[in-house]
Chain A
Amino acid sequence: MRDDPWLDRNSGPVVRPYALTGGRTRPTGETIDLLATVTSTAAAAPEELPLEPEHVEVIRRCRQPTPVADLASDLNLPLGVVRILLSDMREHGLITIRPPMRTRLTDPQLLKDVADALRRL
Chain B
Amino acid sequence: MPFADSDPDASTAGPVSIKILIAGGFGAGKTTLVSSVSEIRPLRTEEALSEPSVLVDALEGVEDKTTTTVAMDFGRITVRDDLVVYLFGTPGQHRFWFMWDELALGALGAVVMADTRRLADSFPSVDYFERRSLPFVVAVNCFAGAKRYRPDTVRTALDLNPGVPVVLCDARQRTSSRDVLVTLVEYAISLISDSEVLSPS
A24-35 contact mask (Cβ, 8 Å, vs B): 1 or 0: 011000000111
Residues A113 and B66 in contact, CB atoms below 8 Å apart: no
Residues B192 and A79 in contact, CB atoms below 8 Å apart: no
Residues A6 and B58 in contact, CB atoms below 8 Å apart: yes
Residues B45 and A78 in contact, CB atoms below 8 Å apart: yes
Residues of B within 8 A of A79 (CB): 43-46
The total of chain A residues at the interface (CB under 8 A) is 48
Inter-chain CA distance A101–B185, complex, in Å, is: 18
Q: Which A residues form the contact surface with B (CB < 8 A)?
A: 5-6, 8, 10-11, 13-14, 17, 25-26, 33-35, 37, 39, 65-67, 69-70, 72-74, 76-81, 96, 98, 100-102, 104-106, 108, 110-115, 117-119, 121
Q: Which B residues form the contact surface with A (CB < 8 A)?
A: 3, 7, 9, 12-14, 16-19, 37, 41-49, 58-59, 63-64, 66-69, 74, 76-77, 79-80, 83-86, 88, 102-103, 105-106, 108, 174-175, 178, 181-182, 185-186, 188-189, 192-193
Give me 27 A-to-B residue pairs in the complex whose CB atoms sit less than 8 angstroms apart, sorted by A's number: A5-B66, A8-B66, A10-B66, A14-B49, A14-B66, A25-B48, A33-B106, A34-B102, A37-B13, A65-B9, A65-B14, A66-B14, A67-B86, A69-B86, A73-B43, A73-B74, A76-B44, A78-B44, A80-B45, A80-B46, A80-B48, A105-B106, A111-B185, A114-B83, A114-B85, A119-B182, A121-B77
